[in-house]
Amino acid sequence: MLTVNELKDLIKALDESNVDELKFEQEGSKLVLRKQKEVQVVGQAPVAIQQTAAPTPVVPHASPTQAAQAPQTSKSEGEKVQVTQATNDNLHTITSPMVGTFYSAPSPDSDPYVLKGDQVQANSVVCIVEAMKLMNEIEAEVSGKIVEILAENGELVEYGQPLFVVEPA
C-alpha cells in the first residue's frame, strides 16, 4: 500500500508530466490517476473561476471505473482552472451532499433515474451517491424539469459538486 507521501509524489509527477493517466496495482489495491480534461460549458450563465493545482486521485473499489472529471477548462499547458456553476435565479442546482461515486441508475442494467428534459417532484430520486459502500439516494429537492445533467455515471463526485440543474415548475 502506498503511503500518503508516495501518493503525493505520484500526483506531483503526473501533474508535471505530459502523461494523462497513470494506473497502478499493488497487492490487490488499484489506483488510477487522471488529469482532468477540458469540458465545454454551453448555454449557461457566466461562471466563476477558481484555481486548482493538481489532478484528482481516484481509487476505485472493485474495477477501474471512470475517473473523477470535475468540470474544467484549460488555459495553457500546466495551468488549469476549475469551472463552478454560477447561481441563476430561475434555476436550481442539485449538489452532492457527500464525496462518493455518482450512479445515474439503481443498477448497471437499469434505466437512469432521470434524463435531460424529465419532470421531477421534490421527493423524486435523481441519482445515487455511493460512499463507504452505502448507496445514498439523492432527491430532486424541487419540482421542475431537468435542464442539465452535470455528472457522468461512475464518476467520483465531491461534496457540493453540482450534479443536476433543474428549472423549477
Among residues 84, 109, 129, the one where a domain terminates is 84
pLDDT number for residue 150 = 95
pLDDT tens digits, one per residue of 25-41: 777 777 777 776 554 45
Q: What is the CATH number of the domain that holds 137?
A: 2.40.50.100
pLDDT-based confidence at residue 67 (cuts at 50, 70, 90): very low
pLDDT tens digits, one per residue of 119-129: 999 999 999 99
DSSP letter at 85? Answer: P
Do 117 and 74 have their domain in common?
no
Domain that holds residue 75: 4-84
Do 37 and 79 have their domain in common?
yes
Closest CA to 126 of 103, 108, 107: 103
Q: What angle do CA 135, 140, 142 make, to 5 degrees?
A: 155
